[in-house]
Amino acid sequence: MSGTRRPAPKFPLRLDQLAPGAPAPGAARTLLRPQQPLQHAALEATRRNTPTGLGLDSAGVRERMVARLRDEGLRHEAVLCAIAAVPRHQFVDAALATQAYEDTSLPIGHGQTISKPSVVGRMIELLMGGASARAAGQLARVLEIGTGCGYQAALLSQLSRQVISVERVKPLHDKARELMAPLRLANVRLVYGDGMLGHAPNAPYDGIIAAAGGEALPAAWLEQLAIGGRLVAPVHDGTDRQVLVVVDRTEHGYERSVHEAVQFVPLKSGLVR
Ligand code: SAH
């Protein structure tokens, strides 16, 4: 009889089983299936592309950045593990690689920027706080608006079963594809398109995250959000400020909360060839 009562094995590990704030050295490996190939491939790519002598291929540089982010209040262990695993310097020009582990946004061409690690971490932490993500310990399907260089998509790949990332500027979409190729992230799909329309073919999403800020939330995002899902986006607040807006979709409708001020590039409609 006791055999029939054994609880079904849970995979992946539920994050809420981890003590808050406690170091969880095994958590990333248990939770994140792409983690192993990522680390291996990332090191290979680092050797190929990074000017020698910068020491950026050492996981220690990222660990120090993670320690700073933790000190500043980022608490979600799986998010911290993802930041520790993804080589941010691989996503910026070699000339900027030495700044890749500072908490700063950096230009990626076409007037766009890779967002600050603390802001990316904060937004993904908020995203992971949605009802479905909390219950499952990870996100099932995430839509990212604004692939840019692909850094945030790579982080999301570590925390989700599937990532769909939309970019409206073709050369950036192509560049992200190239930068992400060595990481062999099988669960990321890059789409060239206007993210203001969301991406209907893969909807609904239990997470939607925007890396560009508009005047209002596009209706498509709200429609494509699953019940139990959460949307995190910068939105103008009526003045010249942008704030982070979180929308949770429940069976009864949408619940919106407003968080801190942020600075993102503008959300624009249409495509750039
Ligand atoms: N997540 C990115 C941040 C890129 S900056 C990273 O990790 O690097 C924001 C991006 O949003 C820019 O590349 C910009 O071209 C893109 N963007 C703005 N409006 C968009 C839209 N309607 N659809 C898709 N991408 C958009």
- CATH at residue 232: 3.40.50.150
Give pLDDT, residue 58.
Answer: 75
Express the helix, strand and coil content of the chain in percent, nearest 5 each.
40, 25, 35
Residues 6+ apart with CB under 8 A from 259: 126, 243, 244, 245, 246
Residue 271 lies in a domain: no
Number of Cβ within 10 Å of residue 207's Cβ equals 28
Nearest atom in ligand 1 to 197's CA: 22
> How does DSSP classify residue 20?
T
Q: Tokens at residue 188, please? A: 């990321």
Helical segments of 50-76, H only = 59-71
| d(C-alpha 205, C-alpha 172), whole Å | 23
Residue 125 lies in a domain: yes
Q: What pTM was estimated for this model as a whole?
A: 0.84
Answer yes or no: are the C-beta atoms of 144 and 172 closer than 8 Å.
no
User: What are the pocket residues of ligand 1 if the criterion is a CB atom closer than 6 Å to any ligand atom?
Assistant: 108, 112-115, 145-146, 148-149, 151-152, 166-169, 172, 194-196, 211-212, 265, 267-269
Residues paired with residue 139 on neighbouring β-strands, in sequence order? 160
Answer yes or no: are the C-beta atoms of 237 and 208 closer than 8 Å.
no
| d(C-alpha 196, C-alpha 258), whole Å | 20
Pocket test for ligand 1, best of 105, 127, 267 (most atoms within 8 A of CB): 267
In degrees and rounded to multiples of 5, residue 47 shows phi and psi of -60, -35
Residue 3 lies in a domain: no
Give pLDDT, residue 258.
Answer: 97
| d(C-alpha 133, C-alpha 74), whole Å | 17
> Do the bridges between strand 106-109 and strand 188-192 make them parallel or antiparallel, or are there none, so unpaired?
unpaired
Q: Tokens at residue 65, please? A: 């950045």
Please state, in angstroms and as integers, the Cα–Cα distance from residue 155 to each residue in 41, 85, 114, following that order.
15, 8, 13
Residue 254 lies in a domain: yes
Q: What is the pLDDT along the chain (273 residues), one digit of tens a residue?
A: 333 444 433 333 222 222 233 333 333 333 344 444 455 445 444 444 444 445 566 789 999 999 999 999 999 999 999 999 999 999 999 999 999 999 999 999 999 999 999 999 999 999 999 999 999 999 999 999 999 999 999 999 999 999 999 999 999 999 999 999 999 999 999 999 999 999 999 999 999 999 999 999 999 999 999 999 999 999 999 998 999 999 999 999 999 999 999 999 999 999 999
Torsion sign over Cα 41, 43, 45, 48 = negative
Closest CA to 241 of 269, 209, 213, 218: 213
Residues annotated as part of the active site: 115
Question: In angstroms, what is the span from residue 105 Cα to ligand 1's centroid?
Answer: 13
Nearest atom in ligand 1 to 196's CA: 22
Number of domains in the chain: 1
Q: What angle do the packed helices 59-71 and 77-85 form, to 10 degrees?
A: 150
Give pLDDT, residue 55.
Answer: 58
Nearest CA to ligand 1 atom 17: 146
Per-residue pLDDT tens over the stretch 165-209: 999 999 999 999 999 999 999 999 999 999 999 999 999 999 999
Torsion sign over Cα 75, 76, 81, 84 = negative
Range of the domain at 109: 15-262
Answer yes or no: are the C-beta atoms of 258 and 244 closer than 8 Å.
yes
Nearest CA to ligand 1 atom 8: 114
